[in-house]
Chain A
């Protein structure tokens, strides 16, 4: 690496013939670029070593990034990369907190080693912070580093708005077995997904906490039987809601998962509060956010959500999967919504409290307004009324989208990743809609 000529950073040196822009990065610097809307950008590593959010780049392989992607190429040793295509911005920055993140990883790795030696469970880390500070990126980074050292950490995704594992409106856990793909992210194989039904935890905080507990319980069970998973620990990605009930949900999550380390990104107030409210044996760490973090607008978030659902049905970039469309009779399925609409306490029957309604299963009469809604197919056994109890806490086996409803014939047409019949007949409705246009 030392022999490489470190050119002036930020200077664009066009590579003749290729039509690309060459960047030469010094040691411990970062190339950040955003892809323009409607464009694609290709990235190629020419010399040296570099990584994108913890996943190493192959030399002379062209990676394609779709419109709207925001990518940071970091190098520990120095490298030369080339970008082809239209970028909105592309610049090299020396100011990265990567070294701090790497030190965090080193500390976690130390804990894993101790856990391995003492036959204990590994570190359970919760990453918290307000919106747009790079929580998911830090999670991805730490997971990639851990998995590159042969660990098997678990990603627990509690961000219902921007889930990195499954479609939005779900809470999930995924065992990481290989570093994230540079383009696609972590390969999603057999994740554990719970239905939440909305993109904001505030709509049903009771359910959110309950599902957090369920996830923690399942994860603990896995740790008991799987030694590697136990040592690898977990990294919990949380929502950006850090006030009021959102903060309470964070504390609840910490106690449900029995976390050892809490990484607070870029908010000292949250750091101090957590330090005060969590027991002394929990290590709370304040980390800065990266300067490259971009604030996302509401539209951008919505688009990402849509993209995620499309990816579920059609595969990455809509090319790998071919979903099925078929009719489902209303009489064959039972559709529920979790949580009755909240009413003032004075209207409740005597002896009832608001909590009871939030976890209640409310049957939904199939109708025209079902169109375009995303439905989760619950894993709960199809049974009569008695089995309804477990529906809320049972995981989801898949998702379907209602594309059309025929009230006359009492059937609806659904988009499903698998051919008919549906594996289960208990469906849970989400607030999220998906219009299958492309």
Chain B
């Protein structure tokens, strides 16, 4: 063994110097390849499983590396039909025995060539003789130092090339020899154990007697267990009467002729209505099958666990391709969001939002715009303001802001600043466009909502009594303004939010009995909608009847003048 670590080397040498009995004891410990439960092979990702897998792998490797020393012996123990040792060596990587892909591994390794394996033809003859050779002799043959005579033989043996050739031609023959449904002798533990208990169990018996049993699958030898299978057309011979011991009760059962049933099956098929259609369908299927070819992977798998793993893999593969179409995800530009990552709608909107929300009173709005917009002059009306004097001009009618049509549209912050400078007097923007002058101004404007005073209240709270609209070319600005006013002032205009705003609910005792007015003389009109829902009871004597009424929410309506009072 070409083992790099020195301690191992020394150990090995030491073990080689053991007495045959000791060696035998060491060697005949459980040779079973450690197989964990089938379910352990579904990777669950936990560390324990990893550890176990690693342990199993280590033990596997240990066994494999040990066995190479006894290659000759183990090789001889395998069945005559599949004798190639290299196949057995590669079996740990689990290619199915009947799978032709493993044929590439049939080329003898360097080590095997050194061993000078006899040509496969006379292997059967060799088998008996060699098998009886005591095992210690074989162990004494250290791989790294093959006997010179063998080496010589190898170099001089003219049949080595032929050996290779026969090895190559082997797989097809071996495949045919292994009957369908019968598991090829596969596990190393079976053969390995046999080799070690050579004198105890005659090898031939194990090979021929009954089905091979060791793995969880294909334990049945369906050649000896006969099913009356009408599908297998090539066996129309009558079935022999079954062993009476297998039958319930005393039954003298004769020969069962399958052929009559076979005939019936055929005629029945031909008589089928719509036979043509059916045949066409079958042909199509046949064609499809030929196109895809028989499922080698499925046919070749040796246990249900393996089968399920294949299916799982296929299912996963198909799902992956389904969820991520190549034309979307394989290019430079990929979608913004991967649909497999479920997120809330809010997150998604956040991700795709282009316009960030802003508020009327935001700092960013009010700070900027230092001096580009300022009041140019005041306008005083001659007729109204008679007390006009240059020293004390009084309140102007309006304040003018002159600007160019080419200039930028004023931002909200600038508008706010200018209107603050102006005080109570409205500001008029005079936009000069190639000699034409257009005037823009803010006008009173009520937000459309079902409760007028609510909007006005909100506006008052916002500190802007003269809500106006910037007309014409600043449509975008107006839109933003609207949004800002709505966002800053009112959540919604429902009764509930009004009561909430006024802090009117049953729990605030101090306000339950108060009308929402400043002056107690202000009348408040209260309307209650009542609908008679049904007459429950009629008392004819008393000339009364009991009704069930439906009362709508109380709505408080203030008259217009009174509202003005209230606001002031």
Contact = CB atoms under 8 A, between A and B. Distances in A.
B256 A100 contact: yes
Contact of B261 (A49, A97, A107): A97
Given A106-B246, A114-B220, A255-B311, A350 B225 contact: no
Contacts of B219: 114-115, 118, 120, 260
B287 interface: no
Contacts of B98: 280
Contacts of B311: 255
Interface string A229-263: 00000000000000000000000000100101100
Nearest to A49: B249
Which of B231, B254, B265, B339 has the most chain A CB within a 10 Å cutoff?
Answer: B231
B239 A288 contact: no
14 contacts: A76-B253, A100-B261, A103-B227, A106-B246, A114-B210, A144-B248, A280-B180, A280-B299, A281-B218, A283-B229, A285-B229, A349-B342, A351-B341, A352-B342
Given A120-B219, A269-B282, A106 B243 contact: yes
B248 A145 contact: yes
B23 interface: no
Interface stretch (A11-19, A33-41, A193-201, A271-279): A271-279
B226 A268 contact: no
B92 interface: no
A261 B219 CA distance: 12
Interface string A62-84: 00000000000000110000000
Contacts of A351: 339-342
B227 A288 contact: no
A76 B256 CA distance: 13
Interface stretch (B14-22, B301-309, B511-519): B301-309
A148 interface: yes
A285 B228 contact: yes
Contacts of A286: 229-231, 265
A103 B307 contact: no
B256 A281 contact: no
Interface in A280-321: 280-281, 283-288
Contact of B227 (A107, A120, A149): A107
Contact of A99 (B210, B253, B282): B253
Interface in B231-268: 231, 239, 242-243, 246-249, 251-254, 256, 258, 261, 264-265
Contact of A106 (B242, B254, B294, B337): B242
Contacts of B226: 103, 107
B122 interface: no
Interface in B301-322: 301-302, 304, 307-308, 311
A178 to B, nearest CB: 13
Contacts of A49: 249
A283 B246 contact: no
Closest 7 CB pairs of A and B: A281-B218, A351-B342, A106-B242, A286-B231, A148-B248, A99-B256, A109-B246
Contacts of B12: none
A277 B348 CA distance: 45
B213 interface: yes
A281 B181 contact: yes
Given A111-B225, A118-B219, A76 B251 contact: yes
B304 A102 contact: no
B225 A107 contact: yes
B67 to A, nearest CB: 26
A264 interface: yes
Interface of B: 98, 180-181, 183, 210-211, 213, 216-220, 222, 224-231, 239, 242-243, 246-249, 251-254, 256, 258, 261, 264-265, 269, 282, 289, 294-295, 298-302, 304, 307-308, 311, 337, 339-343, 348
Nearest to A145: B248
A1 to B, nearest CB: 8
B227 A104 contact: yes
A159 interface: no
Interface of A: 28, 49, 54, 56, 76-77, 97, 99-100, 102-107, 109-111, 113-115, 118, 120, 123, 144-145, 148-149, 255, 258, 260-261, 264, 268-269, 271-272, 275-281, 283-288, 349-352
Which of B220, B227, B248, B300 has the most chain A CB within a 10 Å cutoff?
Answer: B248
B251 A77 contact: yes
B152 to A, nearest CB: 45
B242 A103 contact: yes
A114 B220 CA distance: 8
Contact of A285 (B180, B224, B227): B227
Contacts of B229: 283-286
A77 B339 contact: no
Contacts of A280: 98, 180-181, 218, 299-300
Contacts of B181: 280-281, 283
A103 B249 contact: no
B258 to A, nearest CB: 7
A233 B483 CA distance: 75
Contacts of B230: 100, 286-288
Nearest to B264: A288
B78 to A, nearest CB: 20
A105 B302 CA distance: 26
A54 B248 CA distance: 9
Nearest to B289: A276
Contact of A255 (B265, B299, B304): B304
B269 A77 contact: no
A54 B218 CA distance: 29
A105 B227 CA distance: 9
Contacts of A100: 228, 230, 239, 256, 258, 261
Given A103-B242, A109-B246, A255 B308 contact: yes
B342 A114 contact: no
A272 B341 contact: no
Which of B246, B302, B342 has the most chain A CB within a 10 Å cutoff?
Answer: B246
Contacts of B227: 103-104, 107, 261, 283, 285
Nearest to A146: B248
Contact of B228 (A271, A287, A349): A287
Contacts of B254: 28
A351 B218 CA distance: 41
Contacts of B282: 269
Contacts of B180: 280
A149 B246 CA distance: 8
A148 B249 contact: yes
A49 B239 CA distance: 24
Given A113-B246, A278-B298, A279-B299, 5 more contacts: A103-B228, A106-B242, A120-B219, A260-B220, A352-B342
A144 B340 CA distance: 52
Contacts of A103: 226-228, 239, 242, 256
Contact of A281 (B183, B249, B337, B343): B183
Contact of B298 (A54, A76, A279): A279
A77 B252 contact: yes
B284 to A, nearest CB: 12
A54 B251 CA distance: 13
Contact of B247 (A102, A264, A276, A283): A102
A120 B231 contact: no
Contacts of B249: 49, 56, 76, 148
B27 to A, nearest CB: 26
B42 to A, nearest CB: 13
A268 B342 contact: no
A77 B249 CA distance: 11
Which of A106, A110, A271 has the most chain B CB within a 10 Å cutoff?
Answer: A106
Which of A97, A99, A284, A285 has the most chain B CB within a 10 Å cutoff?
Answer: A99
A279 to B, nearest CB: 5
B123 to A, nearest CB: 27
A137 B296 CA distance: 35
Contacts of B264: 288
B307 A255 contact: yes
A276 B294 contact: yes
